[in-house]
Amino acid sequence: MEFRRRLRQRSLAMAATLAAGTLLLSACSLLGGDDGTGSAQETGAVRANIECAEKGKVLGAGSTAQQNAMKLWTKTYQDACKPVQVAYWAQGSTAGVSKFLLGNTAFGGSDSPLKPSHVEQSQQVCPGGRAIDLPMLGGPIAIGYNLSNVPDLVLDAPTLAKIFDAKITTWNDPAIQALNPGAALPALPINAVHRTDGSGTTKNFAAYLAGAAPKQWPYTPENEWKGQGGSGASGSENLANQVQSTDGAIGYFELSFATARKMHTVKIATGAPQPVPASVETATAGIATAELVGEAGDLTLKLDYATKNDGAYPIVLITYEIVCNKGNKPETLPALKSFLTYTASEKGQAVLADAHYSRLPPVILTKVRQAIETLS
């Protein structure tokens, strides 16, 4: 009897162990564990806090300003959402708008909002709807320069306008020297490098010059460069490379390109107590002065380029993702919404500082997320 009792107890214990193991394996399966029954996609998505689309292809093109952010976003998203394919061609804002309006992409990237003529044209590719601007990230436009033995340089808007319009042509000009007392400025020609392709970065830099130094910069801000003299390069990366390789050069591009090359950048005298350096933090302070001016679901922001707030860097841009509010292609819509939901999420915005971008203010991001939910 004693033997049978012990045998029965042992059998019950083994059954309980097997039952617990079965429950554990089932739980692992539901979470996408490594037991062969779960999904690697589910595991990655849970870890990255991404709600993946089941399938689809998302093609975007445009702004080179957001190129480095897009590299981070697309890698993280695709690692989590294996069946979805996301690709972004960094070809400049003008190209991004053009390709979207031709129906070649699911979204366009632009550093300036759509023009009224673009909105009207978009009705052809957004049946029953129109294109809208969704702000997705911000950041400083750094003024990088290559000048031996001058590690610190301060400039203001009027001086920058004259430099980029060939009115100041040597580095030891009295106007530059007055802003940098004690600096050993060389009698070296200034090579001001600008973008040759249509660029929202160009438009935002020109908007800063026009807003903060209208007498010295008489040109209407456009994606195409209007200043005189200097030399040109296509894309932010090529422009930064040209400045880096040319003694006496100066140019404008996103801070990430300057940081990657360990390039000196200009501090801007704005009228604040101290000249303001280009950084994620100072750009965030500059973006915080923006005003929402879009209509009919559009989320265009108006920047204050003439701000004199302490610690607010004035040369900033907002990069927009251009999408159809209605009339998106059924085969791309779920993946498009999934991807943009991630980029506008806390997780998506959190990676921006690592790439030297500024996240958008919470009140704006809330509106962006609401707009993405309603895309159809």
Which pLDDT score is estimated for 45?
Answer: 52
Over residues 64-95, the pLDDT tens digits come to 889 989 999 999 999 999 999 999 999 999 99
Task: Quick: pLDDT tens for 30-40.
Answer: 223 333 333 44
- The closest of 116, 100, 108 to 134, measured between CA atoms, is 108
Q: What share of the chain is helix, strand, coil (3-state, %, to 5)?
A: 40, 20, 40
Q: How confident is the model at residue 312 (pLDDT cuts 50, 70, 90)?
A: very high
CA angle (90, 290, 284) in 5-degree steps: 70
Name the residue among 97, 119, 101 with its Cα closest to residue 110: 97
- Which segments within the chain are labelled E, that is strand? 56-62, 84-90, 107-110, 131-145, 154-156, 191-195, 231-233, 249-254, 264-265, 267-269, 291-292, 301-302, 316-324
Note the pLDDT tens digit of each residue in 257-277. 999 999 999 999 999 999 999
Angle between helix 157-164 and helix 200-212 axes, rounded to 10 deg? 130
Question: Among 3.20.20.70, 3.40.50.300, 3.40.190.10, 3.40.50.2000, what is the CATH number of 141-287?
Answer: 3.40.190.10
How many Å apart are CA 243 and CA 240, to the nearest integer?
5
Q: Which residues pair with 254 in a beta bridge?
A: 141
Tell me if 258 sits within 8 A of 144, measured CB to CB: yes
Q: Which CATH class is domain 45-138+291-300+318-374?
A: alpha beta
**Distance set, CA 307 to CA 220, 272, 275, 312 (Å):** 20, 9, 13, 7
Mean pLDDT of the chain: 88
Q: d(Cα 295, Cα 84) in Å, to the nearest integer?
A: 32
Residue 24 predicted with pLDDT over 50? no
- % of residues, the chain, pLDDT over 90: 77
Which segments of the chain belong to CATH 3.40.190.10? 45-138+291-300+318-374, 141-287
Residue 305, φ and ψ in degrees, nearest 5: -75, -15
Q: What are 205-232's pLDDT values in tens digits?
A: 999 999 999 999 999 999 999 999 999 9
Provide the residue type at 155 as one letter: L
pLDDT (0 to 100) of residue 48: 55
What 3-state class would DSSP assign to 271?
Answer: coil
Cα–Cα dist 68/22, whole Å: 45
Answer whether residue 289 shows pLDDT above 90.
no
